[in-house]
């Protein structure tokens, strides 16, 4: 199908206007890049109205039915570029070349004095990205085939490093290759079954520490290769009707058959006395719970469970948060008192004999309220090398990975009078 350059410009202008109205786009540098780089060059064959939908991610490669590469939605790209805050003349490393579109945007932002290196694991993705970038006029981008966990060593450190794939850890190479003291690392960080897009800056007081505030909800394909160690969701029965997900371990705290047995028992509900909204749950309570306890998991099934999340993109799937107590072999679920409302009072649901887990889950929800119901906007994440052995304070939570200790804390909410 022949291209219509005028139509493309109209779509790009409309996209930038939409992103500005929705608050995803603020800076003139990012806006200029989105206006100048034709996204359709990087996803050939896709109709323009789909190419420029703000919330539309486009799958570009599947293996055995699983998506392993995609072109991220423009609103997500804009958000991450704003977080990255790349400047003309910057040296930028991107982990996850994909189609090459994001690298082209970066190249436009840093200009002729800057330098962009993008890395991908697969030869076909690398060759495709090179071809797309050359066609769009950004052939100066250096596209490298390699494992993203190793970064791309260079004589000069990178002012900015950006991941367009989710990782549960910060690779030592990214720390080593990030410039000090002004460097910034933007990444989708996988935190025990959920992802948050964070912008890490070097801490002025401790240059071994990377600090980020106001993490944003996101969903990315996970990093593959040396650091692609996230455990897959664990099916709890043969037909995978029950699936427990958490990214810390390949094995659930109880045997799958025992969890299935507990979930098959009659369930009883107890009110928490805590009312909230779906938005506050997704962007506040969820992160709080998984950070406070390693025993909190997401539990999915086709039916028979309370549906806490109500995700439109997972039609037919019910999802909730589940606390599994291995010592007492008990579990408890979080649910809405009125599921049809997707808001209001929360209750704790457990099978007979699950009182220990129910009490723990109820206490965690109450602690969230006592702490001021902190949301993601109040969260600060500090990332230390594991060798630093950084202890946690009373009001902090720690999530340990192979290379990194993530320390989470929440600032008190400011109430306007």
Q: Quick: pLDDT tens for 205-238.
A: 998 999 998 788 887 777 877 666 555 666 666 6
Residues acting as catalytic residues: 69
Read off the pLDDT of residues 71-119 as tens digits, 9 standing for 90 and up: 788 999 999 999 999 999 999 999 999 999 999 999 999 999 999 999 9
Read off the pLDDT of residues 172-197 as tens digits, 9 standing for 90 and up: 999 999 999 999 999 999 888 788 99
Beta bridge partners of 86: none
Average pLDDT, the chain: 88
Q: What is the pLDDT of residue 310?
A: 75
Q: What percent of the chain has pLDDT over 90?
A: 62
Give the CA distances from residue 52 to residues 108, 302, 370, in Å, rounded to whole numbers and listed in that order: 18, 33, 44
pLDDT score of 150 more than 50:
yes
Q: Is 197 helix (H, G, I), strand (E, B) or coil?
A: strand
Read off the pLDDT of residues 262-316 as tens digits, 9 standing for 90 and up: 888 888 999 999 999 999 999 999 999 999 998 998 888 766 678 888 765 555 5
Q: Is 217 helix (H, G, I), strand (E, B) or coil?
A: strand
Read off the pLDDT of residues 342-368 as tens digits, 9 standing for 90 and up: 889 999 999 988 889 999 999 999 999
Q: CA dihedral in degrees (345, 350, 353, 354; nearest 10)?
A: -80
Look at 41-45, 177-181, 192-196, 371-375 and tell me which has the smallest mean pLDDT.
192-196
Interatomic CA distance for residues 71 and 103, integer angstroms: 12
Domain boundaries, the chain: 5-217, 234-370
Interatomic CA distance for residues 410 and 188, integer angstroms: 19
Interatomic CA distance for residues 251 and 84, integer angstroms: 36
CB atoms within 10 A of CB 180: 10
Q: What is the pLDDT of residue 315?
A: 54
Return the CATH superfamily for domain 5-217.
Vaccinia Virus protein VP39 (3.40.50.150)
Interatomic CA distance for residues 400 and 169, integer angstroms: 9
């Amino acid at each position: 199908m022949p291209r219509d350059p005028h139509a493309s410009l109209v779509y790009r202008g409309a996209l930038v206007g939409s992103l500005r109205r929705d608050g995803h786009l603020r800076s003139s540098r990012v806006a200029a890049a989105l206006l100048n780089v034709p996204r359709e060059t990087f996803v050939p064959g896709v109709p323009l109205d789909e190419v420029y939908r703000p919330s539309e991610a486009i799958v570009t490669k599947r293996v055995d039915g699983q998506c392993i590469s995609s072109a991220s939605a423009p609103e997500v790209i804009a958000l991450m570029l704003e977080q990255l805050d790349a400047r003309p003349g910057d040296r930028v490393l991107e982990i996850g070349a994909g189609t090459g579109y994001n690298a082209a945007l970066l190249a436009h932002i840093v200009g002729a004095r800057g330098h962009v290196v993008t890395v991908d694991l697969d030869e076909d993705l690398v060759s495709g990205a090179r071809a797309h970038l050359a066609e769009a006029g950004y052939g100066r981008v250096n596209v490298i085939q390699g494992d993203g966990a190793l970064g791309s060593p260079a004589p000069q450190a990178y002012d900015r490093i950006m991941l367009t794939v989710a990782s549960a850890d910060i690779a030592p190479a990214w720390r080593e290759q990030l410039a000090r003291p002004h460097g910034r690392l933007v990444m989708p960080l996988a935190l025990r079954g959920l992802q948050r897009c964070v912008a890490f800056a070097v801490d002025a007081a401790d240059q071994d520490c990377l600090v980020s505030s106001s993490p944003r909800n996101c969903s990315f394909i996970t990093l593959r290769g040396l650091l692609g160690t996230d455990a897959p969701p664990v099916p709890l029965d043969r037909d995978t009707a029950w699936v427990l997900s958490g990214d810390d371990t390949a094995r659930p705290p109880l045997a799958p058959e025992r969890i299935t047995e507990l979930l098959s028992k009659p369930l009883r509900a107890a009110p928490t006395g805590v009312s909230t909204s779906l938005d506050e749950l997704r962007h506040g309570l969820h992160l709080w719970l998984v950070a406070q306890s390693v025993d909190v998991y997401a539990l999915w099934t086709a039916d028979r469970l309370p549906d806490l999340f109500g995700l439109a993109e997972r039609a037919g799937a019910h999802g909730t948060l589940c606390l599994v107590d291995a010592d007492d072999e008990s579990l408890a679920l979080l649910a809405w008192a009125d599921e049809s409302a997707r808001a209001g009072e929360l209750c704790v649901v457990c099978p007979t004999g699950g009182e220990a887990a129910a009490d723990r889950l109820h206490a965690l929800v109450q602690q969230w309220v006592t702490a001021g119901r902190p949301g993601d906007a109040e969260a600060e994440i500090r990332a230390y090398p594991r060798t630093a052995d950084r202890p946690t304070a009373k009001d902090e939570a720690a999530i340990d990975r192979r290379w990194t200790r993530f320390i989470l804390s929440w600032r008190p909410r400011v109430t306007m009078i």
